[in-house]
Every structure is written in C-alpha cells, then in structure tokens.
C-alpha cells in the first residue's frame, strides 16, 4: 500500500524559506503513471494547489505562487520536496503531499499524506 509522509520544520520565520519533503513508501516515485504534488490548507480554510512534479523533473506551478515555489524530486531517495521562499503569515497552513494518477480513465489526486502544519511566525 503506497504511503506518503511529509516532513520538515513546523515553524518558519517571516521572509525565510519553507522547506518540506515528501517520502514515498510502498511504491516507486519513478513510475510513469503518476505526478506528485503539494497542496496546502490554511487553518479553517479551503485547499490550494501549490504545484506538481513528474519523476523526470518536469514541473508545473500555481501561477499565484510560481515566483516563490520550487518543487524538486530525488528518485534515489523516493522523495520530492517543496521550497517556498519569502514566507509570510499568509503561508501558515497544513501542507499535504499527494499522488496524482495519469491514466486514460482517471487523473485525480488519489493518495494523500497525513499533512504537516507549518506556522510562519517570528
């Protein structure tokens, strides 16, 4: 059973860079059938897609965050990572990593990590 697990600091200072890693277990991140993505949820609010990456390194980002976001993949460690620069309090959220299927019949975010809370505060 494939599982995703987010990890990283729970507290980041304003103007600094938020860094998170998602470790994939029970399956290979190098499969051609999936994209891997980051989605966040501010406290009490809805979901916001941040961006996604293919195992080859191909990425696409939310235009509203694109100037501050970098997503990378390390296939040797079966991990992908998120960096969000110049953070403010508005970036405080639960950050989820998720798998997105690429197939003829389905292309949903079907497996999600449990999420990790990141607070931006001095």
Partner 1 sequence: QSVLTQPPSASGTPGQRVTISCSGSSSNIGSNYVYWYQQLPGTAPKLLIYRNNQRPSGVPDRFSGSKSGTSASLAISGLRSEDEADYYCAAWDDSLSGFWVFGGGTKLTVL
DSSP state of 91: G
The site string for partner 1 over 33-62 (x = CB under 8 A, - otherwise) reads ----x-------xxxxx--x-------xxx
In whole angstroms, give the CA distance from residue 122 to residue 115: 22
Helical (H) or strand (E) element with 70: strand 69-74
Beta carbon of residue 104, minimum distance to partner 1 (angstroms, whole number):
11
Kindly state whether residue 95 participates in binding partner 1, applying the rule CB under 8 A: no
Q: Identify the residue among 28, 56, 114, 119 touching partner 1 (CB under 8 A).
A: 114
For residues 21 and 74, the answer to whether their CB atoms sit within 8 Å is: no
Residue indicated by tokens 């195992």? 55
Kindly state whether residue 113 participates in binding partner 1, applying the rule CB under 8 A: yes
Chain contacts with partner 1 (rule: CB under 8 A): 37, 45-49, 52, 60-63, 96, 105-110, 112-115
């Amino acid at each position: 059973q494939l599982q995703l697990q987010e990890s990283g600091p729970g507290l980041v200072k304003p103007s600094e860079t938020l860094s998170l890693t998602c470790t994939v277990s029970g399956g290979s991140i190098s499969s051609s059938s999936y994209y891997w993505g980051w989605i966040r949820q501010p406290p009490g609010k809805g979901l916001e897609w941040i961006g996604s990456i293919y195992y080859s390194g191909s990425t696409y980002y939310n235009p509203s965050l694109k100037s501050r976001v970098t997503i990378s993949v390390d296939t040797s460690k079966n991990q992908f990572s998120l960096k969000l620069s110049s953070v403010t309090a508005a970036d405080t959220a639960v950050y989820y990593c998720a798998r997105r299927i690429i197939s003829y019949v389905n292309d949903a975010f079907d497996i999600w990590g449990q999420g990790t809370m990141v607070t931006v505060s001095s």
